[in-house]
Structure 1
């Protein structure tokens, strides 16, 4: 048989192999395992798997090695289910199984995504006594990592008696591919300490981990290891280093690595172009592409996708169309698996949504990513209904939505308040068994924006491993729906769980403290913000200013405001509102003038705050001046601004002028504006004026309980019981009820909320002792 082995290697065509097969049959060697096994492998390598199976089926007694070769051949051609069927058949027929079989079977398990069966195979490996085989253990590490179980991969890795460079590379890849780059780098550190020989393959995963962390010092340290150990990096490793430096913000070093390449390949040019795109240098990316063509290096689909991204970054429609034509002419990526989504994004950035639809109609029936991109674009551009229509169309086409399409559709439901459709999508998620945290966070956001915090909290409780995004979604939802005490409670749970917090966490809890006027808690959060190492930015500084101002600590609010390196119109507006709410009208006006002098134009919120300040202080002249100057800054008065002016004039007693403003408004007055005038009439005992404009607001139907309550109280004070009854009847008919007032007090660094007749507080027996007798 040894004479035939060189002949197998010389069979470079199917015809020669067939002739050799015929000769083996004539000589009777086909009854031996070795030539038959070699035939099976040779046929599979030439792409004729049926012939390989035929040789196997005609053999009388295939041994474990022959079974393993055939299984390996099926795995080569990605017939994973067939490979597993062969394994089951072998289990029933073979008493002995060699270790050679299991790496291919594990590869097939990974291909089918059947993690449960992987566990069964792992059990058989232990039963057969192969659990100390380095190749098998490395395969187990790899499959657990690929199926999202890095902890299981680590257990196998730790039990390995011997570890080669492939084993180390597999465990590093397991962590990196599952988003745990820091853990991957820790393994690499151990690998270096144990003096394991590094190779380019192992360093690829390390470079990817460094890029995820984005730490320039780590990148340079890795690069130094490569140079010091004399490892060649003229191919994939060089491309990874280019990407690594670009993600760490060191574009110069990335360019320098590329320049030193002796013969840059398509992948190298693509890495450089992507590097420019990532840094926002789209013009340089286009120039690099022209240099690539001049160097007669053919671009591939990834290169063209990067170029489409460059055109999208500069909104170059003409150039983008040219790239599109080049792709069609050269037949690059004919199925548009990569370029379909990129082209949709290009045309969307250029404002050509009709072109997006055309690309989707042509290529979308076979690529769910294209649908996901367009649904996401519609949702982010505020075209929520269009996004949802697209979501329905996608399913009519027979495509099953994945995590991205579900999350984008839930976001669209939240924006337009379509709770019923959101609930239907939730039902689909439960039916399909989606456990993706990304989708669950979108559900929390959707229910929160629709005002159903109970359902949002239910989804929150279902998530076992909560990320910082999940916690932030819940805190933000409670805070924005007026459940500030619950928002702070969730924040406290997060803090006690020792989870890492980011700026969004602190912004949400600071908003909750502002809503409650909870100064002590706000100070505590400020302290944790400092000690946590979260970088201060414009948003956090503004939130701190707002919190201190609303809690009455104007001195600290001013100090935070003064130390801000830059101030936005929101920052100025917050500070103006703080002084205005506490009656410091002159300081508020001075701040407004300083803001204008600094070159920042006031917006609608700024004017709202300054007009409100004027109303509280009763300074009519200044209020009129600010209101009349709004259009000079390009700000058109809204309902809220007119309400402030009517309130200002009404409080000052100039009721006729307030009524004139209402009649001169470019749009009908709503309940809040009439309520301001009614309140002025009540304050100045001008009940006679109410008859003048009673007919104007008789047809108002609003969910503003304050308006109806004020009107009914005025009728009650005037003893007009018929009118009083009519107003209360309207409220009952609309399902409205008077919102009870409440107070919040802070005792021993805790906030307590109570209303009239509330006996729920623990201190209900102690409170009367503090009240005056009589």
Structure 2
């Protein structure tokens, strides 16, 4: 077989792989009259990208004369799929390594947070060329090791645009905006990537005006720069500016369209969002996840089915959103169907999906099914433990929630803020005031600062127990604003326990916070009526009529 023919076959295989058509690529590969190391490397790279490492390794082992590219591809496949130990084992037995081998392995350790091993490999690398240095800089930047990256950058004899850009990115991500800008201004040559890194740094620091100014100074803006500033506008609630810029874009990609779709969803304008969604020239998995996440009704489930029908495979984000909606609407049958499908696609081991499953069954009133999912899960991280603790809490099973905390700590998982919200809810639903104070005060032991939601549950616990004065004293300690629903709980409890003096104070606070909240005005009116203050009650009712307030659905997060 001539060299030209082999190249042609290899190009066909590579073309299919680039388009995600691994099955078609394998068919061509199988019919090749003769294969070389390039053919095998292309196929094993394709399998690695699809996560099928067993098939990739099988092909790797079949190659008789492996070159360094083949070795690097297999190692990269292991690292990109989280199997770092197998990647390292292969790296250690390589007959010959090049700078790409060392850079790939260093990048893998940074990706999984093992900075010490990345450093050790860097020291061992016999040839520290620009690629290896830049890999170290990029790793430090990603993990926020700004001083380490600064020292490394200082010692580099040779620097290219990527070196400068990685150093700028490191400074900006660490919040060192002024140092980042100074370095940017010192750059001997700037490319569009450096400009975009600087713009993104300003956006991450919530300095949208500086980012906008820099964007307007760019001689040439690539599509990444356009998308960065549009995303910045959307995060800063300047959706109209984002729309205006979107219209001006000389070229749009799927990211551009998805950003605007996200903007509509973020604004709660689902009519416009759906219209925009239907007008999109192309959709990807992210598109579907965005539009599905915008709905809190069965419309989301209809879109989920359409997504499947159009050949898109759900991911972690899809499943968590869809399961959340199934739980919120208590759609047990839908939830079970989604559960069955995610098992087939291998997502039953994803801890975020497992957490969503537990919550879904719990909200459908099926605590036994929630427990079954928890028990079958081999890996329990903090997210999974929290889902089970919160589920037991809402079902009034305080003892089970407390027991789960003990098991969680014994398993080596540290509780976080969500854990304590669940524990406090368990106390509130069971009227365990002493236990509630114990958990609230123990947050300091875990170096956690109580947030407004923790104060809110404590207010609910104390108020339900008739300790409205204690609840108000606790509120006064909160440096931030207490959520409105907690003030409403306190006001309602003041009325029930006939503490009208405190009710007046709480009512004034509520009135200043939520002038347009119908539920609050009705509660305030009822409080005055219970006290026999008919004129005050009538005045509040008149305010409702004058302002033509619409009734809102009563929705308490406390439950």
- In structure 2, what is the Cα distance between the partners aligned to 1:320 and 1:580? 46
2:32 aligned with 1:190: no
Determine if contact 1:596/1:602 at 8 Å carries over to the other structure: yes
Residues 451 and 405 (structure 1), Cα distance of their counterparts in 2 relative to 1, 3 Å cut: farther
Q: Paired residue for 2:78?
A: 248
- Pick the aligned partner of 2:105 from 270, 276, 292: 276
Residues 577 and 174 (structure 1), Cα distance of their counterparts in 2 relative to 1, 3 Å cut: closer
- Pick the aligned partner of 1:286 from 101, 122, 131: 122
Deviation per CA, 1:720-770: give whole Å up to 9, x if none: 45423543455577775321469xxxxxxxxxxxxxxxxxxxxxxxxxxxx
2:355 aligned with 1:538: no
Q: Paired residue for 2:276?
A: 459
Q: Paired residue for 1:395?
A: 215
Q: Paired residue for 1:502?
A: 315
Q: Paired residue for 1:171?
A: 12
Correspondences of 1:107-122 after superposition (within 5 Å): none
Deviation per CA, 1:485-536: give whole Å up to 9, x if none: 2222211222333432222221111111122122221112111111233351
2:164 aligned with 1:340: yes
- Pick the aligned partner of 2:68 from 238, 241, 247: 238
> 1:455 offset after TM fit, Å?
3.2
- 5+ residue gaps, structure 2, are 80-86, 110-116
- Pick the aligned partner of 1:180 from 10, 19, 28: 19
> 1:238 offset after TM fit, Å?
2.9
Residues 452 and 364 (structure 1), Cα distance of their counterparts in 2 relative to 1, 3 Å cut: farther
Residues 732 and 363 (structure 1), Cα distance of their counterparts in 2 relative to 1, 3 Å cut: farther
- In structure 2, what is the Cα distance between the partners aligned to 1:667 and 1:422? 31
Q: Paired residue for 2:135?
A: 306
- In structure 2, what is the Cα distance between the partners aligned to 1:373 and 1:559? 47
- 5+ residue gaps, structure 1, are 1-162, 261-267, 294-298, 743-774
More moved, 484-493 vs 197-206: 197-206
Determine if contact 1:542/1:571 at 8 Å carries over to the other structure: yes
- In structure 2, what is the Cα distance between the partners aligned to 1:708 and 1:351? 44
Deviation per CA, 1:684-710: give whole Å up to 9, x if none: 4x2744676367537623254432231
Q: Paired residue for 1:406?
A: 226
- In structure 1, what is the Cα distance between the partners aligned to 2:547 and 2:8? 70
- In structure 1, what is the Cα distance between the partners aligned to 2:150 and 2:481? 49
Determine if contact 1:545/1:575 at 8 Å carries over to the other structure: yes
Correspondences of 1:407-486 after superposition (within 5 Å): 407-429=227-249, 432-434=250-252, 436-478=253-295, 483-486=296-299
TM-score by length of 1: 0.61
- Pick the aligned partner of 1:707 from 520, 531, 534: 520
- In structure 2, what is the Cα distance between the partners aligned to 1:720 and 1:316? 63
Q: Paired residue for 1:515?
A: 328
Higher relative contact order (CA 8 A, sep 6+): 2
Determine if contact 1:715/1:723 at 8 Å carries over to the other structure: yes
CA RMSD of aligned residues (A): 3.7
- In structure 1, what is the Cα distance between the partners aligned to 2:78 and 2:406? 42
Determine if contact 2:6/2:35 at 8 Å carries over to the other structure: yes
Q: Paired residue for 1:369?
A: 193
Q: Paired residue for 2:496?
A: 683
> 1:546 offset after TM fit, Å?
1.0
Structure with greater Cα Rg: 1
Determine if contact 1:243/1:275 at 8 Å carries over to the other structure: no
Residues 270 and 510 (structure 1), Cα distance of their counterparts in 2 relative to 1, 3 Å cut: same
Residues 660 and 254 (structure 1), Cα distance of their counterparts in 2 relative to 1, 3 Å cut: closer
Residues 286 and 607 (structure 1), Cα distance of their counterparts in 2 relative to 1, 3 Å cut: closer
- Pick the aligned partner of 2:373 from 552, 560, 575: 560
More moved, 522-531 vs 675-684: 675-684
Q: Paired residue for 1:359?
A: 183
Determine if contact 1:243/1:254 at 8 Å carries over to the other structure: no
> 1:544 offset after TM fit, Å?
1.2
> 1:274 offset after TM fit, Å?
2.0
Q: Paired residue for 1:67?
A: none
Determine if contact 1:403/1:438 at 8 Å carries over to the other structure: no
> 1:711 offset after TM fit, Å?
0.9
- In structure 2, what is the Cα distance between the partners aligned to 1:670 and 1:223? 58
TM-score by length of 2: 0.82
Q: Paired residue for 1:144?
A: none
- Pick the aligned partner of 1:652 from 465, 490, 497: 465
Q: Say which SS state the counterpart of residue 221 (structure 2) adopts.
A: coil
